[in-house]
A = this chain, B = another copy of it.
Amino acid sequence: MGEGGTSGFCRRSGSKCGRWNPTAEQLKLLSQLFASGLRTPSTGQIRKISALLSFYGHVESKNVFYWFQNHKARERRKLTPPSSSPMFYSDTDNRVAPEPERVMETLQLFPVGESSEAEELRMHAHCRDDTAEPVEPPPLDLRLSFL
């Protein structure tokens, strides 16, 4: 039954994972740290964090470092003002909660007696009644110059 070692990485079938895949616990911890105000942990911080995460599964400092980098960039990109940069988008989701960059001194990760508040629901279900799709009549003008 023990197919493949119990490496902390692979989690799927036959997939040669070369990529770290954080578990829910690890993700939670990271999110908490991020929410605490931690944005760019130093090498020392990273080491400690990875040590903690390591308990839940194999993880390297590299992963932690990348995670923070990506998370920060992602958050920023999602709420970035219109600029002349090849950034992301901003159309329907731009509700940024004014999060004061206040580093909490003490953060607690409650393992019990806590209602799950983390809701990751971002899938908008807008089923359009496609009874008949009449060919829309917009004259298409394809020009890059226009953009």
Using a CB–CB cutoff of 8 Å, the interface residues on chain A facing chain B are: 3-12, 14, 16-18, 21-25, 28-29, 32-33, 36-38, 40-52, 54-58, 60-62, 64-66, 80, 82-92, 94, 96-97, 99, 102-114, 116, 118-131, 133-147
Which of B37, B56, B146 contacts A48 (CB under 8 A)?
B146
A61 and B91 contacting across the interface, CB-CB below 8 Å: yes
Residues from chain B with Cβ under 8 Å of A65 in the complex? 88-89, 96-97
For the complex with contacts A41-B86, A43-B86, A52-B107, 17 further pairs of A-B residues with Cβ separation under 8 Å are A6-B128, A6-B129, A8-B128, A11-B128, A12-B127, A17-B126, A24-B119, A29-B142, A36-B142, A36-B144, A40-B86, A48-B105, A62-B89, A62-B96, A66-B96, A106-B145, A113-B116
